[in-house]
Amino acid sequence: MSLGQVDSAPSNTHQAALRSEVNADSVLVFQGSETLFDLPNLWLRDNCPCDDCRVPQTQEKRFILSDVAADLAPESVSIDLDALTVTWPDKHCSQYPLATITELFQSNSQPLQSWPEGFVPQAYSWDEFLGDSRVTAEAIETFLRYGVILLSQAPVKEESLELLAPVLGPIRELLFDRIHNVSMEGHVYNIAHTSLGLPPHNDFASYSFPPSVQALHMLQNETPGGESIVVDGWAVLEQLRADRPDYFKSLCEFAVPFREFDENNETYAVEPMVRCDPQGHLVSFRFSNQLMQMMNPMQPGIKTFYQAYHELCLRITDRDSPARSTFKLQGGQVLLVAAHRVLHARESFQPIGKRHLQDAYFELDNVANKLVLLRRLNGLNNG
Ligand SMILES: [Fe+2]
Ligand SMILES: [Zn+2]
């Protein structure tokens, strides 16, 4: 069939007939007078599902687009109720199940689930989290929904965070230490190693890609004060976007330097505090007052940025914010945060008893992928 010609499939009793047509740079599929699909020629060629164009054992794509011309067009198209068939000028024939195309129209982006009033992170037992796949799946679902959970009855033994790898995936190792110690005894390179209050922040803003999951394991907490705080950074940002879109825009565009260092380590990144995907959904939040560095005061946009940052600081430190939750992290508890969304903080404490916390980092992709495997194992559908 040549350009402009149409092919029709017979209609069943419920649906109007399907019709396909070769357009200038795409293939159109109609149902009655409605355009169902407008499929770019290069998209069609790139996605041929045949065994020559894929690696059948791995389902990976083998065909590469540079093997055809940019103005490639089908020689002919035909359609029936289940599939679209395209024949290319080199006689290669591609068949696309219509159901596969329709599935691509479903968005898998979830709206942000803000915390309910009086929110405190849901606690799961350490042993069940590691040993009962249904509890693990439920805990990960809660973690992905709210960005924070607690694990209780964890061993009060150093390096126990290593044991979380079967669920959370391999530790994301960073400079300084593999497992980081937070106490006033030992290596002091950060405000966390003092008894001062710690404003909400996420760790390692000084990396181009900061760790996306943080586990904070309290080994001993015998000091008065020092309550733990979590802040739903994304909820704060969504409210700011609604109230002051100009400030939100500045935070997305204005790059800020962050540095964390000691005598043996140097980490430095210059990045905007807020990142969104091309649809405008929040992807990551980077907030660390303590690691933020001095900037060129004459650079374009800095005045607006500082107004935006001031407003953001007000909201992040607001003790009455519905996006804030305060609780005491006891020895034997682990606080798990999705660190690109949820900030952590600590009240000041009186340094008259022992307080020892260990931190390790993981990646949210690995945690999310674990849930897919667990659902398969538990016989539940994904999604
Ligand atoms: Fe921290
Ligand atoms: Zn093919």
- Averaged pLDDT, 99-109: 89
In this structure, which ligand is nearest to the CA of 88? 2
In this structure, which ligand is nearest to the CA of 201? 1
User: Quick check: 378 and 133 in contact, CB under 8 A?
Assistant: yes
- Averaged pLDDT, 24-51: 96
- pLDDT tens, position by position, 111-128: 899 999 999 999 999 999
d(C-alpha 284, C-alpha 364), whole Å: 12
Domain assignment present for residue 113? The answer is no
What residue type is 230 in one-letter code?
Answer: V
Q: In the chain, how many domains are there? A: 2
Domain assignment present for residue 1? The answer is no
Q: Which has the closest alpha carbon to 252: 301, 214, 204, 206?
A: 301
Count CB neighbours of 332 within 10 A.
19
Q: State pTM to two decimals.
A: 0.91
Query: 183 with 253, same domain?
Result: yes
Q: What is the CATH number of the domain that holds 215?
A: 3.60.130.10
Query: 35 with 130, same domain?
Result: no
Does residue 77 register a pLDDT over 60? yes
Residue 333 Cα to ligand 1 middle (Å): 16
What pLDDT shows up at residue 187? Answer: 77
Query: 338 with 195, same domain?
Result: yes
H or E element at residue 21:
strand 18-22
Residue 38 Cα to ligand 2 middle (Å): 20
Residue 203 Cα to ligand 1 middle (Å): 5
Query: 47 with 168, same domain?
Result: no
Query: 66 with 189, same domain?
Result: no
Q: What percent of the chain has pLDDT over 90?
A: 86
Residue 306 Cα to ligand 1 middle (Å): 23
In this structure, which ligand is nearest to the CA of 56? 2
- pLDDT tens, position by position, 186-195: 777 788 888 9
d(C-alpha 360, C-alpha 267), whole Å: 17
Residue 345 Cα to ligand 1 middle (Å): 7
Query: 243 with 177, same domain?
Result: yes
- Averaged pLDDT, 299-317: 98
Domain assignment present for residue 115? The answer is no
Residue 121 Cα to ligand 1 middle (Å): 17
Query: 227 with 270, same domain?
Result: yes
Q: Which has the closest alpha carbon to 332: 294, 304, 358, 371?
A: 358
Query: 68 with 200, same domain?
Result: no
- Domain limits for position 67: 6-103
Query: 205 with 318, same domain?
Result: yes
Domain assignment present for residue 96? The answer is yes
- pLDDT tens, position by position, 255-295: 999 999 999 999 999 999 999 999 999 999 999 999 999 99
Which segment of 61-70, 146-155, 346-355 scores lowest on mean pLDDT? 346-355
d(C-alpha 338, C-alpha 75), whole Å: 50
User: How many CA atoms are closer than 13 Å to the CA of 77, on its beta-carbon side?
Assistant: 27
Q: Name the H helices within the chain.
A: 41-46, 98-103, 126-131, 133-146, 165-168, 233-243, 245-253, 302-316, 364-377
Residue 82 Cα to ligand 1 middle (Å): 54
Residues with CB under 5 A from ligand 1 (ion): 203
- pLDDT tens, position by position, 136-182: 999 999 999 999 999 999 999 999 999 999 999 999 999 999 999 98
- Averaged pLDDT, 324-329: 97
Q: Mean pLDDT for the chain?
A: 93
Query: 175 with 308, same domain?
Result: yes
Residue 50 Cα to ligand 2 middle (Å): 4
In this structure, which ligand is nearest to the CA of 205? 1
In this structure, which ligand is nearest to the CA of 92? 2
Residue 297 Cα to ligand 1 middle (Å): 28
Query: 38 with 135, same domain?
Result: no
